[in-house]
Amino acid sequence: MTIRLTRLMLVALALAACGDSPRTDPLVATQISVVGGNEQVGMVGSVLADPLAVSVTDAADNPVPDVTVTWS
C-alpha cells in the first residue's frame, strides 16, 4: 500500500509541475527581422508604396509585444 501511495503522489507532483502558467519574467528583445516592405526604392522624404514591417523576438523566438522601433 505504501508503494502505491508513493507512486500516486509522485505522479500528482509531476502533473502539477507541468502546468501551463503564464510567463512572469519580462521578454527581452534580442532579434529584429524584416517582415515586409523591404527592397523598395524612392526619393528621400517620399512615402513608399508599402509600409516597412518588422518582427521583434526574444532569444527563444517568441514575439516581444509593445516594442518601439525607430527608423532613421
Please answer whether residues 62 and 27 qualify as being in contact, where contact means their C-beta atoms are separated by less than 8 angstroms: yes
Distance (Å, whole) CA 64 – CA 11: 35
Confidence band, pLDDT 50/70/90 cuts, at residue 56: very high
pLDDT at 12: 67
Per-residue pLDDT tens over the stretch 15-44 = 666 666 666 567 889 999 999 999 999 999
Nearest CA-CA partner of 56 in 23, 25, 30: 30
pTM summary value: 0.55
Helix (H, G, I), strand (E, B) or coil at 58: coil
Domains of the chain, by residue range, sit at 27-37+52-67
Residue predicted with more confidence, 22 or 49: 49
pLDDT at 15: 64
